[in-house]
Amino acid sequence: MAAAAKDVEQKIEALREKIRYHEHLYYVLDNPEISDTEFDKLMQQLQQLEAEHPTLITPDSPTQRVGGKPREGFVKVRHSSPMLSLDNTYNEEELRAWERRVHELTGRKDVDYVCELKLDGMSLSLGYDDGQLVRGITRGDGTVGEDVTLNVRTVRSVPLSIPKEKLKKAGIPVDFEVRGELLMPLAAFKKMNEEREMKGLSLFANPRNATAGTVRQLESKVTAQRRLDYFAYGLLQHGRTYFDRHSKTLDALNAAGLKVNPNRKLVHSMEQVWDFIGQWEGMRDSLPYEIDGIVVKVDRVALQDELGFTGKAPRWAIAYKYAARAGITKLEEIRVQVGRTGKLTPVAELAPVLIGGTTVRNATLHNMDEIERLGVTIGDWVLVERGGDVIPKVAKVIVDKEHPRGHKTFHMPEVCPVCGTKVVRTEGEVDYRCVNANCPAKLRETILHFASRGVMNIDGMGEALVNQLTDRGLVKDVADIYKLTKKDLLSLQRFADKSAQNIVDEIETSKKLPLERVIYGLGMRFVGERTAQFLAEHFGSMEALEHASQEELQDVNEVGPRIAESIVEFFSIAANRKLVERLHEAGLTLTGQKKQRGTKLAGKTFVLTGTLAHFTRDEAKKMIEDAGGKVTGSVSKKTDYVVAGGDAGSKLDKAKELGVKVIDEKEMGKLVG
């Protein structure tokens, strides 16, 4: 190798080492030495060098956490040994009974235990071969899990590779398996749900569900944005525990650079276990993630082996579960909230009650069906539960002598509490809605949708800013965003010169986003991201879309009478036409490239599976879509064709089972013409 090339290679490797070192400090030890900006700079340098020398890119480079194309599904993988669950205990008596059993079965009384936090996420196995991360597998049913490696690679606290010397020092062989808990920290959970709310998407009930939803994303890019974290608590080789003490396992994993929860303790008696449990019950709210109890494990592996398993749980470990944090309080009133789509949500106003360190004043009642199920009336005493959930919820009505029942029955208002328009409940739907497009409550939510990342991507225009803008009357519709000046922003709270300028710049940049984003941003009912894309391609301009008839609209891919009607209705309102005109004047992109999609495959749904020999997945998808067809990820009765390449797996089986037509690439080629 030429000397210069060798130099570059060394430079790149040194930079990677440096980045890995800082990643470890930041993501594993929570103790950074350099600022985020300095870290980003190092990363940019590496990206730049790798871009100039693409042959030198290695899979374990810190730049390669996100990569690969979206997948169609996850491959099932058998675990090296079953991933077990834990038996639960709920009080001291049950815990003592467990201890007695340990004593009886081992014939010893001097047993050491390790106490750990019971992290509320999902268990995940990591496979390392030759020090390189090669597998991430979910627990699944305990015997067979799903291969989520590409998504796991995006978790910053999971090392992509561990140097051999480091493993040696930690006493770990180069081929090994780690077991641990994948979780979503509360801050990331909150942020994600806020973003989902803005987009009118359903919210995840708690961080555990959010973790599971995130790690099963088909696009690792999405997983990467959501900032999951991973704590290791097990080390296996060939399916067997490697060290002779659990406490050694944890220390070794830590020494190898994996993240091991520091809140753990090796103890020598049940009294000490009980102290640990009591101590963390009071402190659990200070943690940046959810825990639902404490796990107690017998330290010596020889004793673990003697104790063995019952069914699907080991006898050598037990979970002590904390009670759900709940409180009893009086439900004083039921208020109704209006969302972007006009949905009315009943919210309980409570006499303030302290639950797990937080004062709770409101709790959701979800909808009218839930109120009926609970049988709750205004004035009742209720049990309020607060999990990792977004908003506390009313769990049940207290019915006993000390708590008199309320008497006022709640009814959904007949008119919107914000604008006074008549409320509608569509036949067969649970929710009540306000149908006034100009309802001020909807305005706030509409602006948030318009500014959100997937739409006009105005970074910084979140809830806090939008509240101020709408409250002050500075923004009365989405076009007003483009009239905002730096001076306007400086007049608001928490704005300094730089932050105001940033927003102004963001707004300016958004003008360049393509037509489909603006169409999506208008928030027409039933017009989502994909439909907006088809509309933009078909009509090529907002003007053409505005003047399209119902029939013309239905010529567009995937647009049926319901969507066509909604679009026509939207443009029939003068205020909406005026709004579009103002967006035009503001300089937004209202024209685009017309693209004729064929109609040959209109209405036909395809699923691609296996490895195609002649095209990439994306190319095949594009061909089908250009011919008017639709490509989806999973096979159902509605699928018209499954295109099977080499090594096709479960989707092919499913197609056969359902009697869906299976074709090869060649036949697909003929179909698309």
Number of C-beta neighbours around residue 189 at 10 A: 26
Tokens read off for 554: 């239905």
- Which segment (104-112, 116-124, 360-368, 607-615) binds ligand IVH by CB under 6 A? 116-124
Among left, alpha and beta (phi > 0; psi -120 to 50; other), residue 493 is beta
Q: Contact with ligand IVH (CB under 6 A): which of 89, 123, 206, 329?
A: 123
Tokens read off for 376: 């709750």
Which SS3 state, helix, strand or coil, does residue 298 take?
strand
Helix axis angle, 665-672 to 617-626, nearest 10°? 30
How far apart (Å, rounded) are the C-alpha atoms in residues 90 and 82?
Answer: 25
**Binding mask of the shown chain, residues 78 to 97, with x at each position contacting ligand IVH by CB under 6 A:** ------xxx-----------
Which residues neighbour 161 within 8 Å (Cβ) at sequence distance 6 or greater?
Answer: 60, 131, 132, 133
H or E element that contains 632: strand 630-632
140 binds ligand IVH (CB under 6 A): no
**Binding mask of the shown chain, residues 637 to 666, with x at each position contacting ligand IVH by CB under 6 A:** ------------------------------
How many residues bind ligand IVH, per CB under 6 A? 14
* Whether the Cβ atoms of residue 119 and residue 183 lie closer than 8 Å to each other: yes
Which SS3 state, helix, strand or coil, does residue 260 take?
coil
In the complex, the smallest distance separating the C-beta of residue 191 from ligand IVH, rounded to whole angstroms, is: 23
Closest residue to ligand IVH, Cβ-based?
123
Please give the residues from 46 up to 85 whose contact with ligand IVH meets the rule CB under 6 A.
84-85
- The phi, psi pair for 231, rounded to 5°, reads -115, 130
**Binding mask of the shown chain, residues 283 to 312, with x at each position contacting ligand IVH by CB under 6 A:** ------------x-----------------
**Which has the closest alpha carbon to 52: 11, 3, 2, 22?**
11
* 188/348 with CB nearer ligand IVH: 188
**Which has the closest alpha carbon to 181: 291, 67, 60, 317?**
291
Q: Give buried/exposed letters for 337-358 (b at 16+ CB in 10 A, else e).
A: ebbbebbbbbbbebeebebbee
Which SS3 state, helix, strand or coil, does residue 494 take?
coil
* 126/295 with CB nearer ligand IVH: 295
Q: Contact with ligand IVH (CB under 6 A): which of 27, 98, 113, 233?
A: 233
* 246/340 with CB nearer ligand IVH: 246
* 319/338 with CB nearer ligand IVH: 319
116 binds ligand IVH (CB under 6 A): yes
In the complex, the smallest distance separating the C-beta of residue 440 from ligand IVH, rounded to whole angstroms, is: 45
Any catalytic annotation for residue 109? Answer: no
Please give the residues from 420 up to 479 whose contact with ligand IVH meets the rule CB under 6 A.
none
Which SS3 state, helix, strand or coil, does residue 641 take?
strand
319 binds ligand IVH (CB under 6 A): yes
* 346/387 with CB nearer ligand IVH: 387
**Binding mask of the shown chain, residues 247 to 286, with x at each position contacting ligand IVH by CB under 6 A:** ----------------------------------------
In the set 76, 118, 168, 638, the catalytic residue is 118
- Which segment (111-119, 145-153, 203-211, 435-443) binds ligand IVH by CB under 6 A? 111-119
Q: Find the farthest-apart pair of alpha carbons in the chain and give their distance in angstroms, rounded.
A: 88
Q: Scanning the structure block, which residue is given the tokens 């106003």? A: 349
625 binds ligand IVH (CB under 6 A): no
- Contact footprint for ligand IVH (CB under 6 A): 84-86, 116, 118-119, 122-123, 181, 233, 295, 314, 317, 319
| Residues with active-site annotation | 118
